[in-house]
Amino acid sequence: MLCQSCRCSVSISNSDFKVNIAPDIVTAPPGSDGVLIELFFRHQHISNNEENEWKEAQIRVFLERSDVGDSTKKSKSLVFARKGDEIRDFCDLVRSRALGRLNLSVSSRGFFDDGLELAPSKRELSLRTPSISLADVLVSTNLRSDNQRKLLLSYLLSKAVWQFYDSDWMAEAWTKHNVHFMRQCLDRMQQKVRLYHRPFISADLGVSTAPSKDSSPKRSHIFPEILALGVMLLEIELGQNIEDHYSDEFLDADGKPRENADHITAGIIINSEKWGSRSATYQAVKKVIEICVKPDKCKLGVDPTRLRDNLYQSVVVPLKNLFTLSWACPEGNPENFDPGPMDLTLLDGLADNDTFELDQATTAGPLPSRLNYFSRYSTQGGRTHLNSGGQCRYKDAAQRVLGSPSTDGNGEYNYTIGWICAIPIELAAATAFLDELHETPPMSPSENDIYKFGRIGNHNIVVACLPAGSYGNVSAAAVGTRMKARFPALRFGLMVGIGGGIPRDELGVADSSADLHLGDVVVGTPTGSSGGTFQYDFGKTVEGGAFIRTGSLRKPPDILLSAVSSIQAKHPRALRKTLSEHVSKAQKVDDRLSHPGQGNDHLFDADYEHIKNNVSCKLCDTGKLVSRRPRGDNNSYVHYGIIASGGQVVRHGPTRDKIGRECRALCFEMEAAGLMNIIPCLVVRGISDYSDSHKNDSWQGYAAASAAAFAKQLLLEIPPISV
């Protein structure tokens, strides 16, 4: 369009146009000032004797909604609106504007001149030197070892393909040869490449802009442009050209690649089992690459009208989330993230240890400092210290976004178990029972929760505690929702902490092991029609004022119930001994988890009220104590059945007994009803009081430890492959 009405004899095939493909078209609403697209071009009317090789232009493009893809949706597409005088002769304009930047706008009738910007340019891009293609950048070791830049570049290119798909700018598939970067001139003696924020697509105006509709059966992919994107993403992740992996069978007699060699080689690379030891960045991006490269796994579908929507959801969004969760981005927008320029270090050859070969898989190089966390920690002798070999690989956002747990156990994306606590002493207990404590990574400015990370057995665990003073179902639901969003790899959760016991008065003194004592553990397991946890204050009031409870919650996942069965199969005495050993180790880490002594376990008659204004029960009438057979040791007993969850603390003996009989519950708690339907979980409660007016905090530490000990043993029963 620029040159079609030009009256000069200059061949447009000798012109080179490069347009920035990173503008954020999506966020510019129709009717706004539009999107500014940056353009650099070379032209024969720019004399070789002039100071600059490139001419700079800025084109303002306006948006309107048009039918693209699904007929039920409206997509933003580029349209043009008149702003200045129409350009009749582009070459004449170029000749007359030797200095400064051209400011243009365009309509369906042509380009328009909005004037010349004469103010000194503060550009960071050099107009004196040639641009550099992605193909040349790929031979730089700087890109190969820089996960941050690779991921940002992959996202920007994928988004650009989505935004420009099926437009004239994609008349030919975008590859490493026509994706270019402008050099940045920091001073006259130093040249650097300005990458990632500002990739450009190179177009030769001598090539027809009519998109190819070739339907030849030789074409190996239904969407060649998407295949080209997948190959380019693979090359970026490798930091190598795909030609470096061609085998002899992919070359003809003249040494030239056969048709579809890129596609076949890419498939071989991503299918190779030897890639298992590659960086976690690769393992995550690999899933996106597969969507682009492998038609049999393509989530893009076969309907061209749905392609752009599917490309956005299956490729662009995962890459964006992967980047923003790994590095702090201004307002969560990668386009506003500037990692700075990169030294241009083009090498004649590659060091042996820098080249990835299919027959000798290697891991990624050093990582940006922000991702050098999750160093391995262990707890020994009550002190936390670094293990040897604590350096870990990049394992931050990959699993939250794409879901492919690693097996080396060093990274955040490998955390598949969520452990949720309500109060600080429960968090202290959970941390004390970890076999290994992992370093906490830097948080995103948008995060509201502080997590603890660690390992029990072969399982990596993320632990969260409700905000101080914010307890109950609503707070638990909020924390669970945020945890699930940040860690979509979570298979299940554990709600572990203290609860108020409901003594089984019908047993009397005949069976001390079956009756609840302080420090015992209650595990919410299905009983009758109940899933194991029952919301006792949820229901309906019917005729006559009767309240019918209807608050049965979802049962725990089968893998947890299978682990419970495995524990139940053990002899009770052996289980108590095992739990006691777990507690003893944790008490060396935190003495707040110690047993208060059986002499401080007091169960009073249900209707006997505590003497007010007294913290302890020293002044309470001992004649009102329930007579129970004492136990011979301080070990915790485990009980299985229904846990009653509600929005209030129960501190009244008669109410406790009434609800206990009606719901057949063993204890009360306040958070499970908010969590069970968000994260499939098992509720484990250590009994810290008897849900009466004599309630106090002296048993909270040990009760939290008892519950955590059972949770730990539960996880030890589950093979890693099940998690």
- State the average pLDDT over residues 8-27: 51
- At 666 the pLDDT is 94
**Separation between Cα atoms, residue 645 and residue 651, nearest integer Å:** 14
Residue 576 pLDDT = 95
**Mean pLDDT (the chain, rounded):** 72
pLDDT of amino acid 723:
41
Residue 694: DSSP 8-state: T
Listed as own residue / partner, the contacts of 474-477 with beta carbons closer than 8 Å and 24 or more positions apart are 474/674, 475/671, 475/674, 476/420, 476/422, 476/671, 476/672, 476/674, 476/675, 477/674, 477/675, 477/678
Q: What is the pLDDT of residue 8?
A: 56
Residue 710: per-residue pLDDT: 98
pLDDT at 65: 46
34 Cβ neighbours under 8 A, 6+ residues apart: 28, 60, 61, 62, 63, 81
pLDDT of residue 613: 80
Can you tell me the distance from the alpha carbon of 7 to that of 649, in angstroms, rounded to the nearest whole number? 86
pLDDT in tens, 145-182: 677 778 888 888 888 888 888 777 777 788 888 887 77
Task: Quote the pLDDT of residue 177.
Answer: 83
CB-based contacts of 148, cutoff 8 Å, min separation 6: 326, 327, 339, 368, 371
Comma-separated ranges of CATH 1.10.510 domains in the chain: 132-343
CATH 3.40.50 fits 496-722, yes or no: yes
Three-class SS state of 357:
strand
Residues 397-430: b if buried by 16+ CB within 10 A, e if exposed: bbbbbbeebbeebbbbbbbbbbbbbbbebbbbbb
* Residue 703 φ/ψ, nearest 5 degrees: -65, -40
Query: Tens digits of per-residue pLDDT, 348-388?
Result: 333 333 333 443 322 222 322 222 222 222 333 332 222 22
What is d(CA 410, CA 325) in angstroms, rounded to the nearest whole number?
17
Residue 333 or residue 27, greater confidence: 333
What's the CATH fold of domain 132-343? Answer: Transferase(Phosphotransferase); domain 1 (1.10.510)
Q: Which tens digit of pLDDT belongs to each residue from 527-569? A: 888 888 988 887 777 777 777 776 678 899 999 999 999 999 9
What pLDDT score was predicted for residue 207? 45
What Cα–Cα distance (Å) separates residue 713 from each residue in 130, 295, 434?
64, 45, 11
Tell me how far CA of residue 265 lies from CA of 230, 234, 260, in angstroms: 12, 11, 9
In terms of pLDDT, which residue wins out, 442 or 642?
642
Q: Cite the DSSP H helix spans in 45-103.
A: 90-96
- The stretch 670-697 carries a mean pLDDT of 91
In this prediction, residue 339 carries a pLDDT of 62
Which of the pair, 382 or 273, is modelled with greater confidence? 273
Q: Given this model, what pLDDT does residue 84 score?
A: 52
Q: How are beta strands 638-645 and 383-386 bridged, if at all?
A: unpaired
Which of 225-239, 413-427, 583-597 reaches the highest mean pLDDT? 583-597
Lowest mean pLDDT among 74-78, 237-241, 591-595: 74-78
Mean pLDDT across 184-196:
50
Q: Print the SS3 string covering 468-531.
A: CCCCCHHHHHHHHHHHHHHCCCCCEEEEEEEEEECCCHHHCCCCCCCCCCCCCEEEECCECCEC
CA distances, 56 to each of 97, 102, 125, 198 (Å): 11, 6, 10, 14
**Which of 12-16, 391-395, 636-640 is least confident?**
391-395
H-helix or E-strand spanning residue 184: strand 183-187
Greater pLDDT, 484 or 47:
484
Whole-number pLDDT of residue 300: 73
Residue 591 has what pLDDT? 92
* Highest-confidence segment of 163-167, 253-257, 601-605: 601-605
pLDDT of residue 575: 96
Arithmetic mean of pLDDT, 282-305:
74
Quote the CA–CA distance of 15 and 269 in Å, as a whole number. 37
d(CA 113, CA 59): 10
Q: Please, where in the chain does CATH 3.40.50 lie? A: 496-722
Task: Quick: pLDDT tens for 301-330.
Answer: 767 777 888 888 888 888 887 777 666 555
DSSP state of 79: E
pLDDT value at residue 279: 59
pLDDT at position 145, please?
66
**What's the 3-state SS for 221-268?**
CCCHHHHHHHHHHHHHHHCCCHHHHCCHHHECCCCCECCCHHHHHHHH
pLDDT value at 216 more than 50:
no
Give the separation between CA 456 and CA 585, rounded to whole angstroms.
Answer: 13
Higher pLDDT, 142 or 468: 468
> Which of the given ranges, 26-35, 263-272, 278-287, 488-497, has the highest pLDDT on average?
488-497
pLDDT at 535: 86
Cross-strand pairs, 79:
62
Question: Taking a C-beta distance cutoff of 8 angstroms, is the pair 524, 682 a contact?
Answer: yes
Model confidence at 338, pLDDT cuts 50, 70, 90, reads low
> What is the pTM assigned to this prediction?
0.49
